[in-house]
Structure 1
Amino acid sequence: MFKIKIVDLLNEKGIQLNLKAKNKEEVLKELIDILEASGQLSNRDDFERAVLERENNFSTGIGMGVAIPHGKSNGVKEASIIFGRSEKGIDYQSMDEAPAYIFFLIAVPADSNNEHLNVLSQLSRSLMHSEIREGLKNAKTAQDVIGIFEQ
């Protein structure tokens, strides 16, 4: 079985190292804006609804300064990951109640199998390592971010 890797779903157009958002709602909108600009959405409203519904059920702020919002929707053309970083940190109602600085938005088509759960699991495991989180916080370029996941 073919296993999708994190690096396969990241690209430079989908990486924003200086998010302008000041709150959870704004960060979700900004990440979805980046996804839409990269040409990965056929129906933004449908995807945004899926992400917000997930957030309303439980926050995807996993703690340690990280949030991984995600959605499965007919509005997504192909699986992708958007990376965003906030210098100031955002109150994301994370499990540990600390601000989030690092954001990964996972978008998958509605008809895909549960591959996004595999990607979510890979991402969560990677982000448990403080050196990965520090590398992402200190990345100077989009290529630096991609390089962290190429190892």
Structure 2
Amino acid sequence: MLITKESILLQCSITEKEQIIRSMAEHALQINRISEVEPFVQAVLHREAEFSTGVGYGIAIPHGKSHVVKEAFVLFCRVEHVDWTSLDGTDVDMIFMIGVPEVDSSNEHLKILALLSRKLMKDEFRQALRVAGSEDEVMDVLAKWEII
């Protein structure tokens, strides 16, 4: 499954983009989604250097392809107003991190990005994620909106 209850981080007090990416990668390692932190962090930062993944509406979708990714995954994290150099100039308060194996020939990350982007355009979806009080509630929102 792309996203599970253990993939959800409701409270992240870190306020700097690279540190958040690193912290989320460390969490991906803890839940066995990647085999090593640094190569994945570098893949995400490389992508981030090409173009900001702050897509607007307070959302960032950092993503990376790496040989250390065991299978495609999504992590969800809520943060407190982080400058992500977003397209619309707003600070980020929710992050969906995507990881895919480097050998993925199906462009899985593009499919995941497209699905998330369509749903995140809906204010009702974003607000439901912002007010969800537990990992279970986040999972319920994702299920209702057919993300999982």
TM-score by length of 1: 0.91
- Aligned to 1:81, the other structure's residue is in SS state strand
Partner residue, 1:45 = 38
The number of residues matched between the two structures is 143
Partner residue, 2:109 = 116
Between the aligned partners of 2:17 and 2:87, the Cα distance in structure 1 is 14
Once the two structures are TM-superposed, the CA of residue 49 in structure 1 deviates from its matched residue by 1.0
State the 4+ residue runs in structure 1 displaced beyond 6 angstroms.
none
Select which of 71, 89, 101 maps to 1:97.
Answer: 89
Q: Is the 8 A contact 1:43 1:74 kept in 2?
A: no
5+ residue gaps, structure 2: none
Structure 1 vs Structure 2 CA RMSD: 1.0
- Aligned to 1:150, the other structure's residue is in SS state helix
Select which of 6, 14, 24 maps to 2:7.
Answer: 14
- Aligned to 2:100, the other structure's residue is in SS state strand
TM-score by length of 2: 0.93
Once the two structures are TM-superposed, the CA of residue 43 in structure 1 deviates from its matched residue by 2.5
Partner residue, 1:24 = 17
Deviation track 1:34-80 (CA, whole Å, cap 9, x = no partner) reads 11111111122211111000000011000100000000110100111
- The amino acid across from 2:25 in the alignment is I
5+ residue gaps, structure 1: 1-7
- Aligned to 2:97, the other structure's residue is in SS state strand
Select which of 136, 140, 144 maps to 2:137.
Answer: 144
Between the aligned partners of 2:31 and 2:125, the Cα distance in structure 1 is 25
Between the aligned partners of 2:22 and 2:81, the Cα distance in structure 1 is 16
Partner residue, 2:64 = 71
State the percentage of identical aligned residues: 37
